[in-house]
Amino acid sequence: MNVNELMIGNLVKSGNGIYKIAAMSVNGIEALELTGSDAVKGFIDASGVIIEPIPVTEEWQKKISNVQLYSFDHNDGSEPVYSFWFNSKIIFNVQYIHQLQNLIFVLRGEVLEINQQ
């Protein structure tokens, strides 16, 4: 995953945790861990910790309230691609939660609502 794909507010995973990006610098990424009952502020060192994208899945789709996605499975063992329609005309394909978050922000000017419960 390239750090230049990320924006503040994006969700990513590292190890067993889900993190929300709070700040970024050349030294690393500051993030809030969202996996527990309370958000814990932690620092993800960009040089020593692997940051992974969160794939869009049916489970994650249930957590998203203001976007409807359509799934396309390629049947080749790769992760499915989800499509988002904008103004009933344009299709954008996404595989990861941070891509969808960025797309919604750019197209609608709003933050994607994701229920963490």
Tens digit of each residue's pLDDT (9 = 90 or more) over 54-68: 998 888 888 887 777
Residue with more model confidence, 100 or 48: 100
Residue with more model confidence, 34 or 97: 97
Q: What are phi and psi of 54, to 5 degrees?
A: -95, 115
How many independent structural domains does the chain possess?
2
**Which residues form the domain of 15?**
3-45
Describe the strand order of the beta sheet including 90-94 as a list of residue ranges.
69-72, 81-86, 90-94
Same domain, 37 and 77: no
Domain-embedded: residue 99: yes
In this prediction, what percent of the chain has a pLDDT beyond 90? 7
Domain-embedded: residue 13: yes
Query: How far apart are alpha carbons 117 and 75 in whole angstroms?
Result: 31
Reported pTM: 0.77
Same domain, 62 and 96: yes
Is residue 9 scored above 70 in pLDDT?
A: yes
Structure tokens at 99: 């891509």
